[in-house]
């Protein structure tokens, strides 16, 4: 596992509960906790993906000048390659993880959209072949 910032892809997710997000990503998706400043912030890593989990008390959670508050959700997502999507989905469903859809098949493979505890989307993707 690399820890050098220049070698990492950094993505920030706004979350409602930093501790719940840490548990979700480390327990179910193979991330490793690097830094926890819960309840405001955490930094988890999986390979070269550094996921910054920012709660409402973090600097990233501060209101914009017009009063809009950053929040979780939306359709942008991280994309995680898996080798057996059916097994991953079964294991995650057994653990109570919610999904936006069922497994769909396209020309390049199969995918499904899982939701973290705050409603952020995580795409699990099994390449064709």
In a domain? residue 64? no
Tally of domains within the chain: 1
In a domain? residue 66? no
Domain at 88, CATH number: 3.10.180.10
In a domain? residue 63? no
In a domain? residue 13? yes
Neighbour-count burial for 8-41, b at 16+ CB within 10 Å, e otherwise: beeeebbbbbbebbbebbeebbebeeeeeebebb
Question: Contact, 42 vs 21, CB < 8 A?
Answer: yes
In a domain? residue 67? no
Residue 80: CA count within 13 A, CB half-sphere: 24
The residue range of the domain holding 89 is 5-58+72-127
Report d(CA 63, CA 60) in Å as an integer: 9
pLDDT at 89: 98
- pLDDT tens digits for the chain (129 residues)? 455 667 889 999 999 999 999 999 999 999 999 999 999 999 999 999 999 999 999 999 999 999 998 999 888 999 999 999 999 999 999 999 999 999 999 999 999 999 999 999 999 999 998
Q: pTM for the complete prediction?
A: 0.89
In a domain? residue 31? yes
pLDDT at 34: 96
Helices (H), 8-125: 18-28, 85-94
In a domain? residue 12? yes
């Amino acid at each position: 596992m690399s820890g050098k910032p220049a070698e990492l892809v950094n993505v920030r997710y706004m979350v409602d509960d930093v501790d719940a997000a840490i548990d979700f990503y480390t327990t179910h998706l193979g991330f490793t906790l690097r830094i926890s400043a819960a309840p405001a912030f955490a930094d988890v890593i999986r390979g070269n993906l550094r996921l910054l989990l920012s709660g409402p008390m973090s600097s990233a959670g501060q209101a914009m000048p017009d009063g809009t508050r950053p929040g979780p959700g939306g359709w942008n997502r991280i994309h995680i390659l898996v080798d057996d999507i059916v097994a991953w989905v079964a294991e995650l469903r057994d653990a109570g993880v919610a999904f936006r859809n069922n497994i769909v098949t396209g020309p390049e493979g199969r995918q499904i959209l899982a939701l973290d505890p705050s409603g952020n989307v995580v795409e699990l993707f099994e390449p064709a072949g």
